[in-house]
Amino acid sequence: MSGTTRREFVRDCALKAVGACALTAGCAALAGCGIAPASAARASGSPVARDSEWFLRRALFYKRLSKQRVRCELCPRQCEVGDLERGYCGVRENRGGDYYTVVYGRACTIQVDPIEKKPLFHYLPGSEILSFATAGCNLECKNCQNWQISQSRPEQVKEIRLPPADMVAQARARGVRLIAGTYSEPVVYYEYLEGVAREGKQRGVRTIAITAGYINPQPMQRLCRELGAIKVDLKSMRDDFYRRNCSAQLKPVLDAIVAAKQTGIWLEIVYLVIPTMNDSDAEIRDLARWIKAHLGPDVPLHFSRFYPTYRLTNVPPTPVETLTRCRDIALAQGLHYVYVGNVPGHPGESTYCPRCKRVLIERRVFTILQDNLRSGKCKSCGAAIPGVWA
């Protein structure tokens, strides 16, 4: 058991010992959604109707290996997967030596949010955005806010059938011109998000990704060319934090962020500040210096307040003073747009002109109180403010 994560242990046990009770439970979980898991039909020996597998799509970024094995090349895990097995994320399955996504069009949550909730502050502020997710994730963060879906398999959550064309139609019917892949991890439902983005482009709807950025550079760049914006949760500047708290590594995330920036997409970074774990002055300075050197001083950085959740409940909420200190350090390192999140009324919720220091966009939580931008420029001094404003 040495070196085995909880997810890997559960996965291996399930693959080796799936019994009739487990299959019955899996079918019951989906009964209300009209989705029958293909694995149940195969195990019982009954044929699978074509429409019962409408959610299957050939996956992108994988390599066929010998003995019907495949290697996924979407994310840094590079999972090698045997026939009828799934990768670490739980939503990509080997079928006879070909790899498939099993969540195409299977949305487990969908709702309209303000874009400030993502948060994106320099991309069409004040807009509403249709947000959706599927089950699954390629990280295992101890502080995950949406663990009920991110750490579940598709068979364990209620879903609706919502292919890309219908998703875009839903957005337009609600008068919304933005869609976000969010909540869980859009990397693992890559093909679905790309399909939504391409369908949206044809119908005047833009798509964005809210991601942890655990993806290889080539898939990241391909996806960014279809998106309007991307927000990456950079969780720490220390590899040991990623290994202990996320079962992942730091360098692939940094490489993916740089790859995204190279495409010219609008990019913002969020850093969840967890007391005693990633909040030292040295780490915050390293964060700000890395952003300035590799992304430029105009990429917005959001310091977000942590609240105890999931498997990290023994750490208190982030003190407001800590968030203010982090913001001051980042500004002192030369970043122009540094924000504080989850603290209503904090001055760091608003956007300021880096030249004249006037308030450009005053915010409180998700509400814009005043907007002093004119055609993307400061109304007071005329300085151009990077972002997508119209």
Q: What is the pLDDT along the chain (390 residues), one digit of tens a residue?
A: 344 454 544 444 443 333 333 323 333 333 333 333 333 222 222 233 346 788 999 999 999 999 999 999 999 999 999 999 999 999 999 999 999 999 999 999 999 999 999 999 999 999 999 999 999 999 999 999 999 999 999 999 999 999 999 999 999 999 999 999 999 999 999 999 999 999 999 999 999 999 999 999 999 999 999 999 999 999 999 999 999 999 999 999 999 999 999 999 999 999 999 999 999 999 999 999 999 999 999 999 999 999 999 999 999 999 999 999 999 999 999 999 999 999 999 999 999 999 999 999 999 999 999 999 999 999 999 999 999 999
CA 236 to chain centre: 16
**Could you please report the per-residue DSSP string of 283-332?**
HHHHHHHHHHHHT-TTS-EEEEE---BTTB-SSPPPPHHHHHHHHHHHHH
Structure tokens at 175: 């008068």
CA 42 to chain centre: 32
Do 188 and 136 touch, CB atoms closer than 8 A? yes
Q: What is the CATH number of domain 107-348?
A: 3.20.20.70
Q: Indicate the DSSP class of residue 242.
A: I
Round to whole Å and give the CA distance between 185 and 153.
Answer: 13
β-bridge pairing 367-371 and 301-305: unpaired
Q: Indicate the DSSP class of residue 9.
A: H
CB count within 10 Å of CB 2 equals 3
Which has the closest alpha carbon to 61: 94, 96, 99, 91? 99
Three-state DSSP at 291 gives helix
Counting beta carbons within 10 angstroms of the beta carbon of residue 254, is it exposed (0 to 12), middle (13 to 18) or buried (19 or more)?
A: middle
β-bridge pairing 206-211 and 229-233: parallel
Which has the closest alpha carbon to 339: 305, 306, 302, 297? 302
Do 112 and 118 touch, CB atoms closer than 8 A? no
Structure tokens at 258: 């740089």
**Could you please report the per-residue DSSP string of 31-42?**
GGGT---HHHHH
Domain with CATH 3.20.20.70 in the chain: 107-348
Q: Sign of dihedral through CA atoms 120, 122, 127, 129?
A: negative
Three-state DSSP at 258 gives helix
